[in-house]
Amino acid sequence: MLVCPSIVRLAAIHFVAHLVKIHDCIYSLNRINTVMKTYNEWTSNSKTKTITIICRDGDDTLEKLLNYIKISGNVGHSFDIIVDPKSEGEKKFYWDGDGSDSIKSITIDK
């Protein structure tokens, strides 16, 4: 039986395309499982709390700061938050992004 090389190539490309789709589906399922695990940890964790801040934030500075902490810390990054670094009243706060600290959500009412 004689097989045309272009048909073999086309079949191989088709097979690889299916493998890529399967890989993407497995990746998506793993991502969904990770999100659900995180959600379940949030809902079952008794150490979560709600903090309400009522403020005037004309340039959205506090909003930007809180969102930056959330984005940087929730991926497992730990860091110091330094307030007023050029004075004697400098304060350092440690954000344990790969440990117990994370921000579930930030709601802004304007």
More confident: 49 or 30: 49
Contact 63, 57 (CB under 8 A): yes
Residue 57 carries which side chain, given as an amino acid letter? D
Strand-pairing partners, residue 92, are 82
pLDDT digits (tens, 9 = 90+) for 70-103: 988 888 889 999 999 888 889 999 998 877 888 8
Q: What is the pLDDT of residue 62?
A: 93
Other C-beta atoms closer than 10 Å to the C-beta of 40 total: 10
Would the pTM count as exceeding 0.85? no
Report the greatest alpha carbon distance in the chain: 87
Q: What is the pLDDT of residue 61?
A: 92
More confident: 71 or 1: 71
Other C-beta atoms closer than 10 Å to the C-beta of 47 total: 5
Q: What is the pLDDT of residue 89?
A: 87
Q: For 77, what's the count of Cα atoms within 13 Å in the CB-facing half-sphere?
A: 11
Q: What is the pLDDT of residue 76?
A: 83
